[in-house]
Amino acid sequence: MKENILIIGGGIAGLEAAAMLLRLGHSPIIIEKSDRLGGHVASWHKLFPDMTPAKDVVDRLTAEASGANIFLNTEISFVNKLTDSYNIMLSNGISIITKVILVTMGFSLFDAAKKEEYGYGVYDHVVTNRDLEQWFNGKDDPRIDNSAMNAVGFVHCVGSRDEKAKNSQCSKVCCITAVKQAIEVKQKFPDASVYCFYMDLRMFGKKFEDFYISAQRDYGIRFIRGRVSEVSENIEGRVVVKAEDTLSGKPLKVTLDLLVLMAGMVCGDSCTKVAGMIPLPVDSDGFLKSKDNIFDVMESPKEGIFYAGACTGPKTVPETLAEARAAALDIHLYINGLE
């Protein structure tokens, strides 16, 4: 009899792991709480650094994983631990007995309204990185003016590296996302002034640095080192940003048509919930705790439970895919070892 493999979360990690497991001859089950696959990436427009359409990525992954047993709109109701396996009750009434679980529940976007000083949800022209991506995807947003924009600002590290906001970790991908989104805005509105307010720029990945230099050289995007101190709204409803340019040591005030908050990554809400049911330990950064942070990142401290993707910490798309494949291989070896 084939072992059941339960993949919790139908984002890119879950899909890629499922595809790999199918190729290795297993028949994984994916459960996804929303009504579509692809997770966060599905709501994104283009991916850095080559401006790959996110839709292409999700479509390809979905096609490759189509052989898996997929339940949409399904959540975990409760988990029972049996002697050597888990009995998992789903919200659609199905119960699954499995020895192997792959957790791919990913991250949640930090709630930007928790940084009250930026006025998300209060001012008319303050959006998050996700709102902007969805607008790029053609979804209308009353906060974003489709016709003309003179000035746009990006605030880095919103809810990342911020102890006050209960998240002291770096979310890793927002620096490069801001560069990408700034370029996209500039492409749409070539005359607009685009500002990025940052504290550090962490251009660690392949071609990231080139991308960043191109943003400055080819697009004239202004990078200002200094955190935004105060955001207000003027009488016309435009956003007024006060910040300090710490390189020139001068205070600065700009009036913008749109302010984009680069909300960071925190461990997913449902991830924390499910982790509580099994239960799985949570590390000091708020994400799930691996058995070992060097050798066994994809293994949980519990027998038979594996991780892939952003549930153990912020990751880029290629990193997530690599982890998903690695986790699939780990599971394959684990199942072989059981027999």
Residue with Cβ nearer other proteins (68 or 260): 260
What would the 3-class secondary structure string for 57-108 be?
Answer: HHHHHHHHCCCCEEECCCCEEEEEECCCCEEEEECCCCEEEECEEEECCCEE
Q: How far apart are CA 247 and CA 250, in angstroms?
A: 8
Smallest separation (angstroms) from other proteins to the CB of 271: 16
Q: Could you give the residue ranges of the DSSP H alpha helices within 84-207?
A: 129-136, 174-188
Q: Which stretch binds other proteins (CB under 8 A): 158-166, 169-177, 180-188, 291-299?
A: 158-166
- For other proteins, which is the closer residue by CB, 36 or 242? 242
CA–CA separation, 210 and 157 (whole Å)? 21
Q: How far is the CB of 102 from other proteins (least distance, A)?
A: 28
Nearer to other proteins, 23 or 242 (CB): 242
If one counts every other C-beta atom within 10 angstroms of the C-beta of residue 204, the result is 13
Q: Least separation, in Å, of the C-beta of 119 and other proteins?
A: 5
* Comparison of 179 and 263: residue with beta carbon closer to other proteins: 263
Cα 110 from Cα 264, distance rounded (Å): 5
Q: Is the peptide bond before 190 cis (omega within 30 degrees of 0)?
A: no
Asked if residue 266 binds other proteins (CB under 8 A), the reply is: no
Closest to other proteins by CB, 230 or 303: 230
Q: CB-based contacts of 93: which residues, under 8 Å, 6+ apart?
A: none
Minimal distance in Å, beta carbon 109 to other proteins? 15
**CB of 13: closest distance to other proteins in angstroms?**
27
Would you call 144 helix, strand, or coil by DSSP? coil
* Residue with Cβ nearer other proteins (147 or 284): 284
Q: Angle at CA 61, nearest 5°, toward 184 and 135?
A: 25
Q: How many residues bind other proteins (CB under 8 A)?
A: 18
Binding letters toward other proteins, positions 159-198, x by CB under 8 A: ----xxxx--------------------------------
Q: How far is the CB of 180 from other proteins (least distance, A)?
A: 28
The set of residues, in sequence order, having a beta carbon less than 8 Å from that of 240 and lying 6+ positions away, is 231, 232, 233, 234, 253, 254, 255, 256
Question: Within 93-152, which residues bind other proteins (CB under 8 A)?
Answer: 114, 116-117, 119, 121-123
Integer angstrom CA distances of residue 50 from 53, 54, 138, 176, 211: 9, 11, 20, 12, 9
209 or 233: CB nearest other proteins: 233
Considering only residues 223 to 262 of the shown chain, the ones binding other proteins according to CB under 8 A are 230-234, 240, 242
Residue with tokens 């709102």: 131
DSSP class of residue 33? Answer: S
Q: How far is the CB of 247 from other proteins (least distance, A)?
A: 22
The two tokens of residue 93 are 């009434």
Taking the least distance from each CB to other proteins, the nearer of 272 and 316 is 272
What residues from 27 to 86 belong to the interface with other proteins (CB under 8 A)? Answer: none
Give the residues lining the site for other proteins (CB under 8 A).
Answer: 114, 116-117, 119, 121-123, 163-166, 230-234, 240, 242
